Structure 1
Amino acid sequence: METLYHQTNQLIQETSDLFIRLEKNPDSVDIEDAIQSRINAVNTNCEKLDIMVFKTPLNQRPMAKMRVDQLKYDNKHIQASLINAQNKRRRREQERTEREQLLSRRFGHDHTEITVDYMAQEQVSLQNSHRNVDEMIHTGSNILDTLRYNRETLKGAHRRLIDLANTLGLSNATISLIERRVAQDKYVLFGGMFVTLTVIGLVIIYLL
């Protein structure tokens, strides 16, 4: 078991060294294949080591299992790193392909006209948007001015209402005084008429 363990550990070390080479040449598929080959070999050895663990004495079994589990963990980490490197390489290849296709594309007369028309429409759309924004700002400014004017108008109306209320209060008092004076004048008039008619009546009675 010790021999196979050391061989497997050596494979993991070799795989780590291959990653250093892959960093210097990230587009090398051959290095990726070599790494994957060693990962597969480590997996195979770990399966064999799992069987050997159950054949070790009970007092040595926990330590042996821990060592094998560490090999498995390191190998899974290496596999994840390889997948990440492969995905990056594929993205780079796709970006290069798309860039080459874009650079090699040749636009004809119709495509040029379509592009120009599209740019003209986009410019008109931007101008319309700019004009709409200006109109919105102008409308908002007018609304604010109207609100300020209405506020001043309401303040003036409020002051006039207060003055009118005060004036109406004085007028009501004056009208009340006038009404009382009229009532008093009526009593004086009616009393005077009664006295005058009584005197005339007495004069007629006694003189005739």
Structure 2
Amino acid sequence: MEALYHQTNRMIQEIEQTFQKLAQTSGLDTADVENEIQMKITAVNSNCDRLDVLLYKVPASQRPSAKMRIDQLKYDTRHLQSSLQLYREKRQRRLVELSEREQLLSHRFSANNTGATETCLDIDYSLQHHTQLNNAHQGVDEMIASGGNILSSLINQRETLKGAHQRIHAIGSTLGLSNHTMKLIERRFVEDKYIMLGGMCVTLFIIGLVIYFIAF
């Protein structure tokens, strides 16, 4: 049992030295070294199993000490196995990262992809332009409706002034107003008419400007 124990202990030390060799190996081509470590760990586990069997042949007084040494070998072996597994996972992650990096560097956008992107941009611009035109049309409709109401109000005022003019003529005829007074009243009516027409023209001009700036 003592010979097997010392042999197994030396194998663990060799595995630790091989790990140092693995750390010094450059690049990702370390499969041979990893396989060598795995083979030695498997051999150590086999020796530990044999030591468990031989433990029962040791005198009872020496058995606790022998079991403690075997458990230490098992603990060291599990630690080495975990280290090897972590190294393999780290190497695999590096391989995946290098592969993704190569794919990214070698990727080229095709003409179809570019055309699709430009088409999407054109569609987005057209939708935005269409929305702006709808908003402009709605604003113009509101301005036209407001202008129509203003024109209707001016027409009503014109009708009111015309009725007032006729009533003044009737009152003048009844009261015998002088021709000079009648002329003043008629001139005032003509001025009010020009004022009304001027207001209508200014309103139409403002509406035209608003439509021009919104549409263009």
- Alignment TM-score, normalising by the size of structure 2: 0.53
CA distance in 1, matches of 2:118, 2:24: 45
Residue 16 (structure 1) aligns with: 16
Residue type at the aligned position of 2:49:
E
1:99-151 per-residue CA deviation (whole Å, 9 max, x = no partner) reads: 11121222111222445677x69xx9xxxxxxxxxxxxxxxxxxxxxxxxxxx
Residue 67 (structure 1) aligns with: 69
CA distance in 2, matches of 1:108, 1:5: 66
Cα 1:107–1:67, aligned 2, differ >3 Å: closer, same or farther? same
Of the three residues 110, 113, 116, the one matched with 2:112 is 110
Gaps of 5+ in 1: 125-208
1:26-70 per-residue CA deviation (whole Å, 9 max, x = no partner) reads: 620111101100000000000000011111000000000000000
CA distance in 2, matches of 1:116, 1:90: 39
Residue type at the aligned position of 2:10:
Q
Larger Rg: 1
Shift >2 Å, 4+ stretches: 112-118
CA distance in 2, matches of 1:30, 1:21: 11
Cα 1:98–1:65, aligned 2, differ >3 Å: closer, same or farther? same
1:72-97 per-residue CA deviation (whole Å, 9 max, x = no partner) reads: 00000000000000000111111111
* Aligned pairs for 1:117-156 within 5 A: none
CA distance in 2, matches of 1:17, 1:115: 57
Question: Aligned-residue CA RMSD in angstroms?
Answer: 2.1
Across the two proteins, how many residue pairs are aligned to each other? Answer: 122
Gaps of 5+ in 2: 126-216
CA distance in 2, matches of 1:95, 1:115: 28
